[in-house]
Amino acid sequence: MKKQKKSEIKTVGDNITAEESSWTFGGDVPEKFSSHIRRSVPFYDTGHDLVCKISDFFIKDSSLCYELGVSTGNLFNKLIDRHRHRPHVQWVGIDKEANMISKAKKMTRSINAELIVDDICSYAYQKSDFVVSYYTIQFVPPHLRQEMFNKIYNCLNHGGAFIVFEKVRAYDARFQDILQSLYTDYKLEQDYTPDEVIAKARSLKGILEPFSTQGNLELFRKAGFVNVISVFKYICFEGFLAVK
């Protein structure tokens, strides 16, 4: 009987290393996050631009707005810049990784912005007009997601928006194989090596848990959202807009 090999630390690209089932956004990842995520997620900045344009329909002069999983603050600051003509809008960015928040604070200049180290599942939200989660909920343990969606629904004012971008699984095994193959090709086209692609996938075991499109829609529905639409879709990446 062969002895099981001990998990090794391997590069997953962009000078980031990880062991199997041990991916984290802590440590020195924040320093390399922007370049890594742009090569890993198709249309990453295009999605930011879309979120900013959608925000025009929901953010008012005195709105409170949240970003869940603010990371290094790229989208957060784009939203702030877009609404600088509304000086009384309050912005709150939440991330459980202190190093991410530290990096975001260096980028953020608005006096109306607060960046908080906290867990988006247990945070006490106040009444809001706009909440965005950009590829964050897929890292929330599945058994906590419905309660989190419920909290967001309850914190939103009537007519408020919840935007969620997520990696999604296909509802059918055949389509899942196709999507996974296309995404692997995409990463190779970004000049990641096959070993890096495999190492990243292994590092995410049990940590990144995407739901299908239908699974995400069920979270919205059970929370109370009636009006939900897909606003972006490319391979296994999808953006949803839900309005209370």
**Structural domains of the chain sorted by starting position, each given as residue range(s) with its CATH number in brackets:** 44-165+207-243 (3.40.50.150)
Which residues, 6+ apart, have CB-to-CB distance to 218 below 8 Å? Answer: none
Nearest to 133 by CA among 15, 222, 218, 241: 241
Cα separation, 130 vs 64, in Å, equals 7
pLDDT tens profile 77-106 = 999 999 999 999 999 999 999 999 999 999
Mean pLDDT along residues 107-119:
93
Rounded to two decimals, the pTM is 0.93
3-state secondary structure of 109: coil
Cα separation, 240 vs 218, in Å, equals 12
pLDDT score recorded for residue 7? 56
